[in-house]
Structure 1
Amino acid sequence: MTARFARAGGRLAALLLIAAAVQVTPAAARPADTQASTAQAAAGQRHDVVTWGASADRIGDAVSDRSYRLIVRTSVAGDDLRVRLSNAFGDRPLTFDSVYAGIRQEGATVVRGTNRRLTFGGSRSVTVPAGATAYSDPLPGRLPATTDLAVSLHTSEASGTATGHSMAMQTSYAAEGDHTGEEAAASWTQPIGSWFYLDAVSVRTSSATGAVVALGDSITDGWQSTSDLNRRWPDYLARRLKATTGPVKGVANEGISGNKVLADGAGQSALNRLDRDVLSLPGVRTVFLFEGVNDIKAHSGVTAQDMIKGYREIIARAHEAGKCVVGATVAPFKGWYEWDAAAESVRQEINQFIRDSGEFDAVTDFDRILRSPYDHERILPVFDGGDRLHPNDKGMQAMADAVDLKSLDCSE
């Protein structure tokens, strides 16, 4: 690959670190690639790396006096867990008065002795302004890779628009009143299919370790994969990375069903959410861009040149932030109700740019992996989730297996 630049089972512990100050930042703020962070990496010190992420969007009306127990799967292992709470789409300040994190045993049950209170600047509560996010203080203790983490939070006076991730492909739980400190499942009687307010979890690990962020649409979000089994293609990628000795270990899935590169609609466009959902996450080394089919579906009027312009902007902004960018070709979707010959022509032109332009640091050819050898415009039946667009579990695994893991590190 071509490098465009060089760059330098356990339990959570019972103690809480309360010395760190609360960090509340605008949700769309762009991080700076500072000399200090470069020097830290060169010195071999430890830093924060995202171990789980999910893109934020509007998710209905906020509900007062409700608790959420959100089940998420970690990727990279590390210490000093921190969660990021998001009020990115709220229209008024939102107070979280109780937040806990623990290891999920099964269902809504937390492993005994692991459910620990999180603090924010030493306080048990935090008020997040409209349009902002807030990080918790670090929680001492080791968090293993590929662990089901239960983050429980309560909002006593929530109102207005709620922020979250609608299509989690993971069962979480809700309850009336504050039950965040309870390890048992008795109070958590409401299964839910969305993540509310939580958009990132990070851990502290070696500064040589980084993360990849998958920026995409419903295929990345996991639609047509099996719920509650973590069979989205980024999940399979995380399992591959865990088994290797390479420097990229963290995986954040920033897919949104129906999302587009150029236009808002199902979530903000990739261009408009790039800073918040990708570049602001800690320890990110690589942006994996796999998006475009929703822009070019029948009668959209979007041209290949429109898409190429959007891709180039994402590449430029990611490079400016010191990140590697891997581009993935747009997968076949003939047979989907919005397919037509004009959209197919645009897809082919876009894929030629992705493969041959040399503007990405590396390319993963999902089109060639997923397409039928008998009709290159169609997904291979054995990979088809049933709608001619979204891969099933086998297709998701084939996608992850196609990623050259060395391509995720531009320093090589």
Structure 2
Amino acid sequence: MTGGRPVTTWAAAAERAGAGLRDLTVRNLVRTGAGGTGLRVRLTNALGDRPVTFGRVYVGVPTSGPALVPGSNWTVTFGGRPEVTLAPGATALGDPLPGRVAPRQRLAVSLHLRGDGGVLTGRNRATAPPDDAAYRSLPGDHAADDGGAAYVEGVAVWHWLDALIVIAPEPVSAVAVLGDSITTGVGSETGHGWPDLFADRALLESWPLAVVNEGVSGGRVLAAGTGRHAEERLAAEVLAKPGIGAVILLAGVNDLGAGARAEPLVAAYRRMVERAHAAGVRVIGGTLPPFAGAEYHTPAGERAREAVNAFVRDGGVFDGLADFDAALRDPADPRRLLPRYDCGDHLHPSAAGHRAMAAALEPRVLLDAAGQRPGQGRRAAGSGRWMPRGR
């Protein structure tokens, strides 16, 4: 591998994630995709209702729970200053940090919120097994703490954290997964959704890919929910982030459950692919998994799903295919999930179903779509663990 370029190594979709936080510190636990140098933290107030100020921001290496490896916590600056204020709708990119992060390395991003945070922009139903996705502290600034004693509440929400970016060696690039609750990992008993499992597979098999999860529980293509609709999210949460060479699009089941017809979904898919192509990003089409037996399944919704999947497979618009429908359906009744792949609600895959989805992705198609060639990534991106010295 030669050279390097900015690549998004972790990202999260923006949702309204509650309110009422004031003068405390949140510690977000995440895991990188690709390794690299010059780690940068990007914060967002995309859906906030007022300016938010962070007095200090730190990045460290977690051990268990909210505790950190002693000496690993490093202060983040923004234009050389430790404090940053984000207006409603704004993002802020931290200055590069020294050292190197490894692929699939766990990191803790701590934000000291000064004053009232208003409506929180975060990612609901976030997971970071075996620990909670984030911790909230007692009042005050605990961002620099190595210990976890001040962090008294574990929550499944990532707070104000938009992306982590590194300088990754060529030819590494990122693949973003744009989806709904199936993409966030709902149904998996361990909390490891199929994008996380696929990211582990990419590391194990030395593919030059970072897999970033842009799932929103309840998300739709044609309407907004706790976050933005998928077309808007593609622009604001995928194409606006560096180093993303491809998108896996798996969205539309919630639209069908709300009564959407196939034609508007297909038209939206066409617009999204066109917009991604204009930005130099390719799109892998994911077929919609079966959901007969789910609360909102109807015969009309089933007909629409079959029409949408026929378009994804044969419409000639997408740059590749991820046939999740074929991977998960029951051969005896293709409208339904195979029983062992059903978490019990007939909509979300079980842990075994998420594993089947991760296994169903064809690496050649994905690497080609991301602008790579199989075999280029036989050496893992980055090496060693990030452990900056000093503060």
Q: TM-score, normalised by structure 2?
A: 0.91
Aligned pair partner of 1:184 in 141, 147, 165: 147
Aligned pair partner of 1:262 in 215, 222, 246: 222
Aligned pair partner of 2:204 in 243, 262, 273: 243
- Count, aligned residues: 365
> 1:331-378, CA deviations, whole angstroms, 9 ceiling, x for partnerless residues?
000110111111100000000000011110001110010001111000
Aligned pair partner of 2:112 in 148, 151, 154: 154
The answer (yes or no) to whether the contact 2:40–2:96 under 8 Å persists in 1 is yes
Report the Cα distance in structure 1 between the residues aligned to 2:165 and 2:240, rounded to whole angstroms. Answer: 12
The answer (yes or no) to whether the contact 1:169–1:223 under 8 Å persists in 2 is no
Aligned pair partner of 1:296 in 229, 239, 256: 256
Match of 1:197 in 2: 160
> 1:181-231, CA deviations, whole angstroms, 9 ceiling, x for partnerless residues?
01111111111111110121111112321000000000001111135x5x1
The answer (yes or no) to whether the contact 1:52–1:253 under 8 Å persists in 2 is yes
The answer (yes or no) to whether the contact 1:169–1:226 under 8 Å persists in 2 is no
Q: Describe how 1:271-290 pairs up with structure 2 within 5 A.
A: 271-290=231-250
Amino acid in structure 1 at the alignment position of 2:69: V
Report the Cα distance in structure 2 between the residues aligned to 1:401 and 1:268, rounded to whole angstroms. Answer: 29
Q: Describe how 1:93-242 pairs up with structure 2 within 5 A.
A: 93-170=51-128, 171=132, 172-175=134-137, 176-227=139-190, 231-242=192-203
Report the Cα distance in structure 2 between the residues aligned to 1:132 and 1:319, rounded to whole angstroms. Answer: 26
Amino acid in structure 1 at the alignment position of 2:164: V
1:324 deviates by 1.1
> 1:134-186, CA deviations, whole angstroms, 9 ceiling, x for partnerless residues?
11111111111112111111111124211111110331210121111011111
Report the Cα distance in structure 1 between the residues aligned to 2:87 and 2:347, rounded to whole angstroms. Answer: 39
Report the Cα distance in structure 2 between the residues aligned to 1:241 and 1:165, rounded to whole angstroms. Answer: 24
Amino acid in structure 2 at the alignment position of 1:319: H
Structure 2 SS opposite 1:61: coil
Q: Describe how 1:381-392 pairs up with structure 2 within 5 A.
A: 381-392=339-350
For the pair 1:361 / 2:324, whether they are aligned, the reply is no
Report the Cα distance in structure 1 between the residues aligned to 2:46 and 2:177, rounded to whole angstroms. Answer: 20
1:276 deviates by 1.5
Report the Cα distance in structure 1 between the residues aligned to 2:214 and 2:311, rounded to whole angstroms. Answer: 23
Structure 2 SS opposite 1:378: strand
Report the Cα distance in structure 1 between the residues aligned to 2:274 and 2:295, rounded to whole angstroms. Answer: 34
Amino acid in structure 2 at the alignment position of 1:212: V
Structure 1 SS opposite 2:309: helix
Match of 1:313 in 2: 271
Aligned CA RMSD, in angstroms, stands at 1.4
1:116 deviates by 0.8
The answer (yes or no) to whether the contact 2:246–2:282 under 8 Å persists in 1 is yes
1:243 deviates by 2.3
Match of 1:19 in 2: none
Identity %: 43
Report the Cα distance in structure 1 between the residues aligned to 2:299 and 2:50, rounded to whole angstroms. Answer: 46
Structure 2 SS opposite 1:131: coil
Structure 2 SS opposite 1:146: coil
The answer (yes or no) to whether the contact 1:287–1:325 under 8 Å persists in 2 is yes
Shifted more, 57-66 versus 286-295: the winner is: 57-66
Report the Cα distance in structure 2 between the residues aligned to 1:117 and 1:383, rounded to whole angstroms. Answer: 44
Amino acid in structure 2 at the alignment position of 1:104: P
Report the Cα distance in structure 2 between the residues aligned to 1:189 and 1:160, rounded to whole angstroms. Answer: 21
Q: TM-score, normalised by structure 1?
A: 0.86
Structure 2 SS opposite 1:75: coil
1:244 deviates by 2.9
Match of 2:285 in 1: 327
Amino acid in structure 1 at the alignment position of 2:248: F
> 1:95-130, CA deviations, whole angstroms, 9 ceiling, x for partnerless residues?
111100011111111111111111111111111121
The answer (yes or no) to whether the contact 2:5–2:169 under 8 Å persists in 1 is yes
Structure 2 SS opposite 1:156: strand
1:62 deviates by 4.5
Amino acid in structure 2 at the alignment position of 1:260: R
Structure 2 SS opposite 1:246: coil
Structure 1 SS opposite 2:300: helix
